[in-house]
Chain A
Amino acid sequence: MPPDIPGKVTGEIKYAEDYKREGMIFARLLTSPMPSGRVANIDASDALRMDGVIGIMTADDLPPSPPPGNPALASEYITFVGQPILAVAAVSEEIAEEAISRIRVDIERKDFVIDPLESLAPGGPKAYPEGNVLLRTREIGPGGTPIMSAEIKDIKWPQSAIDALREGKEPVGAEFPSEWAFGDLEAGFAQSTHIIEEPFVTIGYPHHSLEPRTSMAYWENGKCYFHGSSQSQSANDNGLARMLNIDPANLVFINEATGGGFGSKIGPYPYMAISGNFSRMLNRPVQLRITREQEFYLGSARSGMQGWIKIGVKDNGKVAAVDLVIVNDGGSTGGGSGSSSAQHVTIAYQPESMRFRGISVYTNTTPRGAQRGPGQNEMAAVLAPISDKIATSINMDRVAFRRVNVADSDGFQGGSRGPLTSAFGREALDQGARLFGWDEKINQPKRNGSKVRGVGVGIGYHGAGGRGYDGLVRIAPDGKLHIHSGVGNLGTYSYAGTSRAAAEALQVEWDNCEIHRGRTDNHLPHSSGQGGSNTMFTHGRANWVAAQDAITKLKEIAASELGGSPEDFEIGGERVFKSSDSTQGLSYAEAAQKAIEMGGKYSGMEYPDDINPITQRAVQGIQGTGLVGVSKDKIPGQGQPPGIQVGFCEIEMDLDTGKYEILNYAAVADCGTVVHPKNFENAMRGGAVWGVGLAGLERHVYDPQNGLPANVGLYQSKPPTYLDISTDTNMSAVNIPDPQNPIGARGIGEPTQGASAAALASAIADALDGHVFNTAPVTTDMIINHLAGNTYSTQTPNLKTNTF
């Protein structure tokens, strides 16, 4: 049982907004009512005269953050509705709100754009005066150090290219800042016996984390204590300290629990700068709890795509060539995930040749950022029905087509064709088809009165692990194993799952372990951001190497006490003892006491040079209190650990209403060893529900005339509820250990959504005799329009996005 779960069912666990502090005041935000403009004047005189108002913060109180930065408070560049302009602090939230209503802000309007293609058209509007495209640059600086930067560029396409893309054809003559290719594309298409071209459009949507991001900060003795809502823990330290202009050693970041993130809270976000700096300015603890609407506006969203794909296959079903174009909707922050979408194609198809061309365009819509499988999952949703169409065109079973093409352990990912640590997509497809009963279901009668059944299959994928982070454990003189975890707590419980890697390596009973996490002053090591499905692989390894360091030290201590060399000793039963005579040994408690007496590396008084400064500070905090095991993960190996999942879905669609019910969903993950079966199932089911939202329900809708978001409410945005999903699902895993993780695990959080979205999209197409909408989501109105022969919302080549 993860140690924090009782606190969740009793309400006792604390989120950032549950903390109070003597003298705490409340900040609220004034946000932009329009999508584009500049602040001409702020008159806060009435507000500042109110009883209970303590202060105001504007962009002038923070370091400048010119474009392409995403400022915490906007002034010269307002680029989306809901963008914060100022904050007011008062003794109560009500007074702060009332004060905000009394502030007059004059805003000069500017042109805005909500459709990327409109911005690329000659003379089209642009989200920033400087341009419409975010360009990431990489230069080699002194000593060969890469300098990463970004700038805004103005890129226009010939109208012929815009028209071509809208009509579902290659946009010849278009400029793409991002491009890669491998293999001989021309030869690939020449060898193909079947070639199809399809346009596609996916619409972004907000994360809707249930906890509107809250922060509360106060300062004591030069240190900032910052309660924040974040997916991650130690990964916030350096960035947040920079925002507050302090040494990271003077930051205590506190994050016991987080009310959802899904990619939108991986690292520090701009608005954290407000509470931290406001608190220092006013010398009071400041809590900033934003509203649901504000979470919609600034809580980040998935990037949308407008694209074109050309696929060539051979008679045997092998994909010989793929040509892919993606225009990403970068919202007001400009970033897209086109290359990650292309990466999904490489895993699903392992094409012999491929070209990707991408451009990410600013729009005056909500900021975009990582959202669960960014790029990969929306690509999975539109690629699945296209894959079905190809399979059907060559008279091949849809599962068999995927089986021919999907990555295995000798496969590759991405434009660089980088290796994989291991991959078992075929095994997952075979297992899934059996679990779901594919062969029986595709042969069952489809039509029953006005109801029709559809069955679908899909693949989800995301890179699922990193390397090079630090692990830190300590055996105390009472024999207890203390595992220091710097990963966050976004609800996956992987902080606990990865801690077991240390417990099992040291063979310590779980009840005799204590996990330290949740606040910097619990002495937490350098850790990855808890995103990208990476924690199980990354920190399973890091905790394992820390445990190995502790084991080495246990043996050295035993040898120095009992004679012989460290190799003569082994561990078991929370003792270190001679292999030749198990009665000669030390308990962990005795060894820990010895470590304190011996000092040096044994008690953490000395530590390796190559651990991160964050870990060094953590070791300094516990040194001399037990036997310290600390190490950087340098386990040899190469390649990306992939998370792959296959999903199988059966729906029943009502042809009179276009509504469908999901009857069955079965999924099989290829994520190495399953560490915690119940957690695994929970993650699988959560992702499956996210897939239903991506494929069928959720999208941004803007009023194109005024640039105003039309579905700010949860009930309008339509994240899936109990009534939208299947509650009878079957989750399984291939369960073959990954050779590059001592505990065998890879991550799976993100592919869970992609597989579900793809399988549902495939099932919808199947129910409609293979009709390909080429959109995500496919909403009920699109289905009923298609059934009625209306083309208004189903004619995909116009590539409408952010509206309908």
Chain B
Amino acid sequence: MNSRLTRRRFIKGVIFSGAAASTGASFYLANAQSGQSSAERLVTLNINGRNRPVDVLPQETLAHTLRYKLDLTGTKLGCNRGECGACTVLIDEVPNYSCSVLTHNVKGKTVTTIEGIKAADGTLHAVQQAFIDENSPQCGFCTPGQVMSAVALLRSNPRPTRKEALQAMSGNLYRCGAYEHYLNGVMRASGQLA
């Protein structure tokens, strides 16, 4: 998780917003009809290089905003409580679980989702192409998160060792299980696997 968006800070944010935070999933229980004015709720987010104005509740998570307000449904909600990694996005280039980040906390930052990974002309990112070549996904539900973690790794460490890649990807569960195919995909995308 981004050091600037620690879990403690996230929970503090929830508490400050007046929401109940007894369990990870229950922050949806929060005061949906809070009295906050619309001026405070309307924020402009930088998503995939575009400014997107959006009405955001105080306790709303980034995953929720992306999926339900901005129709960016490539980001998946596997657990909605920071366990599985299916909702991984990049915030200022750092991979984060978007289910565990409050949308109000990404104001002024850049957010990259799976929809922002392809080139403008539709060319797949090297990671996406490598995941196809290695036949990495099975059901595909975790794949966007795996892609995001791999992209973040290769941006900070273009030629990782296999062990470094393993560590970097380890926050993403793959219930279908063929982890080795994603790992090989990461190595292929880094040019280390012919």
Q: Are B135 and A5 in contact (CB under 8 A)?
A: yes
Among B78, B128, B139, which residue has the most Cβ atoms of chain A within 10 A?
A: B139
Q: Which of A1-44 contact B (CB under 8 A)?
A: 1, 4-15, 17-18, 20
Closest residue on chain A to residue B172 by CB atoms? A722
Q: Are A11 and B139 in contact (CB under 8 A)?
A: no
Flag whether A744 is at the interface (Cβ < 8 A).
no
Closest residue on chain B to residue A680 by CB atoms? B135
Q: Which of B21-63 contact A (CB under 8 A)?
A: 25-26, 28-33, 57
Q: Are B132 and A257 in contact (CB under 8 A)?
A: no
Closest residue on chain B to residue A677 by CB atoms? B135
A722 to B168, CA, bound (A): 10
Residues of A within 8 A of B144 (CB): 9, 11
Q: Are A13 and B140 in contact (CB under 8 A)?
A: yes
Residues of A within 8 A of B162 (CB): 727
Flag whether B76 is at the interface (Cβ < 8 A).
yes
Residues of B within 8 A of A687 (CB): 177
Q: Are A292 and B79 in contact (CB under 8 A)?
A: yes
Q: Are A15 and B137 in contact (CB under 8 A)?
A: no
Given A210-B78, A210-B86, A293-B25, also A686-B166 (CB < 8 A): no
A542 to B57, CA, bound (A): 53
Given A5-B135, A292-B83, also A210-B179 (CB < 8 A): no
Flag whether A623 is at the interface (Cβ < 8 A).
no
Flag whether A664 is at the interface (Cβ < 8 A).
no
Interface segment, one of B5-13, B104-112, B114-122, B153-161: B114-122
Flag whether A92 is at the interface (Cβ < 8 A).
yes
Q: Are B180 and A727 in contact (CB under 8 A)?
A: yes
Among A17, A257, A260, A687, which residue has the most Cβ atoms of chain B within 10 A?
A: A260
Flag whether A344 is at the interface (Cβ < 8 A).
no
Flag whether A291 is at the interface (Cβ < 8 A).
yes
Q: Are A9 and B80 in contact (CB under 8 A)?
A: no
Closest residue on chain B to residue A26 by CB atoms? B68
A325 to B68, CA, bound (A): 52
Among A9, A17, A97, A715, which residue has the most Cβ atoms of chain B within 10 A?
A: A9
Residues of B within 8 A of A720 (CB): 177
Residues of A within 8 A of B25 (CB): 291-293
Flag whether A259 is at the interface (Cβ < 8 A).
yes
Residues of A within 8 A of B113 (CB): 11
Residues of A within 8 A of B129 (CB): 9
Flag whether A167 is at the interface (Cβ < 8 A).
no
Given A9-B124, A722-B169, A723-B166, also A209-B114 (CB < 8 A): no
Task: Name the one of A491, A714, A725 contacting B84, with C-beta atoms under 8 angstroms.
Answer: A714
A727 to B118, CA, bound (A): 28
Among B76, B129, B166, B178, which residue has the most Cβ atoms of chain A within 10 A?
A: B178
Q: Are B166 and A259 in contact (CB under 8 A)?
A: no
Q: Are A689 and B178 in contact (CB under 8 A)?
A: yes
Given A721-B173, A725-B179, also A260-B74 (CB < 8 A): no
Q: Are B114 and A491 in contact (CB under 8 A)?
A: no
A98 to B57, CA, bound (A): 14
Chain B contributes a number of interface residues (CB within 8 A of A) equal to 62
Residues of B within 8 A of A727 (CB): 162, 166, 179-180, 183
Q: Are B166 and A210 in contact (CB under 8 A)?
A: no
Task: Name the one of B28, B140, B177 contacting A97, with C-beta atoms under 8 angstroms.
Answer: B28
Q: Are A722 and B183 in contact (CB under 8 A)?
A: yes
Residues of A within 8 A of B77 (CB): 17, 212, 289
Q: How far is the CB of B147 from chain A (nearest CB, A)?
A: 6
Q: How large is the interface on A (under 10, 10 to 19, 20 to 34, 35 or more residues)?
A: 35 or more
A681 to B177, CA, bound (A): 12
C-beta contact mask, A625-649 vs B, less than 8 Å → 1, else 0?
0000000000000000000000000
Q: How far is the CB of B87 from chain A (nearest CB, A)?
A: 11
Residues of B within 8 A of A211 (CB): 76, 78, 139, 141
Given A10-B118, A690-B177, also A291-B166 (CB < 8 A): no
Q: Are A97 and B29 in contact (CB under 8 A)?
A: yes
Closest residue on chain B to residue A723 by CB atoms? B170
Residues of A within 8 A of B192 (CB): none
Residues of B within 8 A of A492 (CB): 138
Q: Are A682 and B178 in contact (CB under 8 A)?
A: yes
Flag whether A94 is at the interface (Cβ < 8 A).
yes
A690 to B117, CA, bound (A): 31
Residues of A within 8 A of B131 (CB): 9
A546 to B91, CA, bound (A): 51
A685 to B179, CA, bound (A): 8
Given A98-B29, A257-B139, A715-B83, also A685-B73 (CB < 8 A): no
Residues of B within 8 A of A728 (CB): 180
Residues of A within 8 A of B132 (CB): 1, 5-6, 9
Q: Are A685 and B177 in contact (CB under 8 A)?
A: yes
Q: Which of B177-194 contact A (CB under 8 A)?
A: 177-181, 183
Closest residue on chain B to residue A691 by CB atoms? B177
Flag whether A490 is at the interface (Cβ < 8 A).
yes
Flag whether A179 is at the interface (Cβ < 8 A).
no
Closest residue on chain B to residue A727 by CB atoms? B180
6 tightest A-B CB contacts, nearest first:
A11-B74, A259-B141, A8-B140, A689-B177, A491-B139, A491-B138
List 6 interface pairs A-B (beta carbons < 8 Å), by A numbering: A94-B28, A210-B78, A257-B139, A292-B84, A492-B138, A719-B175
**Known A10-B115, A715-B83; further 9 A-B contacts with Cβ < 8 A:** A9-B136, A209-B139, A211-B76, A259-B78, A262-B175, A491-B140, A681-B178, A682-B138, A714-B84
Which residues of A line the B interface, CB within 8 A?
1, 4-15, 17-18, 20, 51-52, 92-95, 97-98, 101, 208-212, 257-262, 289, 291-293, 490-492, 678-679, 681-683, 685-690, 713-715, 719-723, 725, 727-729
